[in-house]
Amino acid sequence: MDTAGKPGGFFITFEGPEGAGKSTQVHRLAATLADQGYTVWTTREPGGTRVGEMIRPILLGRQQARMAPWSEALLFTAARAQHVEEVIRPRLQRGELVLCDRYGDSTLAYQGYGRGLDLDTLRRLQFQATGGLQPGVTVLLNLPVETGLSRIPRTAQDRLDRETAAFHQRVRAGYQEMAAADPRRWREVDAAADENQVAQRILGLVYDALQQAGVRPVQRRSA
C-alpha cells in the first residue's frame, strides 16, 4: 500500500467508537509533536476540504432523513477522495505529519461491520478513492459502547450517535477485528482511562512508530 510522502512525511489516523475522545487526542498529539519540531497538520473526516465540509452535515445532521447504506458509504467515500487529493497527499509529499480524525477504516467499521455492506467491495472502493493511500499508523481508541455514548450529551448527538446499541457494538467489534488482523499498522489504546494517561500512551506509541520509520523533526537553526 502507498503511504505517500518524502522523508519527514507520515500519515497517522485515529479511529474508534463514538465518544472515545479522538478529536481531543488528535489535537493534544499535534501540539506535542509541533513543540518537538515536527510540521503537523490536523484534519478530520468527513471534512477537511470545502467539498467535505459540505457533505458532512448531510451525513451527520441530526435532522437528516433515513439514508440508504450505500448512499451513506458513497458520500463518505466521495468526501475522502477529495480530502486525499486536495489535502492529505500534497501535505505528505511536502514532508509533513498529517493527523486525521477518521479515515477509510471508519467506512469499513460503520458501513461494513455496522450496516452489513460487503467488506471486500468497500475495501476496493476505498483503494480506488484514495489511490491506495494508507496510514503509517492507526491509533484505535477503544472503550465500551455504553461508556462512549454516555460522554456525548443528547443534544450534541449526531445521526450516527443515535443508532442502536447493537449497531455500535458491531462497529466496535469491527474495529477490534481489523486491529487484530493488522498489528503492524494498528495501535490500540484504552480510551476509558484518564485523558492525560491516554495522551501519554498515544505519544509513546507514535514516537516509536516515527522512530521505526526514520521520521525526524525539522532541525531548528540556532540563534
* CATH code of residue 31: 3.40.50.300
Indicate whether 5 belongs to any domain: no
pLDDT at 222: 45
Amino acid code (one letter) for 70: W
Indicate whether 140 belongs to any domain: yes
Indicate whether 149 belongs to any domain: yes
Does position 30 have pLDDT exceeding 80, yes or no?
yes
169-203 CB burial, b ≥16 within 10 A, e <16: bbbbebbbebbeeeeebbbbbebeeeeeebbebbb
Note the pTM of the prediction, 2 decimals.
0.92
Query: Which domain covers residue 152, as residue numbers?
Result: 10-213
- Tens digits of residue pLDDT in 99-120: 999 999 999 999 999 999 999 9
Indicate whether 144 belongs to any domain: yes
pLDDT at 217: 87
Indicate whether 218 belongs to any domain: no
Q: In what order do the strands lie in the sheet with 186-190?
A: 40-44, 97-101, 10-15, 137-142, 186-190
**CA dihedral of residues 171, 174, 176, 180 (deg, nearest 10):** -170
Cell of 95: 514532508
Indicate whether 222 belongs to any domain: no
Q: Where is average pLDDT lowest: 94-98, 146-150, 180-184?
A: 146-150
Indicate whether 4 belongs to any domain: no
- Tens digits of residue pLDDT in 153-189: 888 888 888 889 999 999 999 999 999 999 999 999 9
Does position 221 have pLDDT exceeding 50, yes or no?
no
pLDDT at 5: 45
CB 129 within 8 A of CB 88: no
Does position 77 have pLDDT exceeding 70, yes or no?
yes
- Tens digits of residue pLDDT in 11-26: 999 999 999 999 999 9
- Mean pLDDT, the chain, as a whole number? 93
Indicate whether 223 belongs to any domain: no
Work out how many domains the chain is built from and give that number. 1
pLDDT at 80: 98
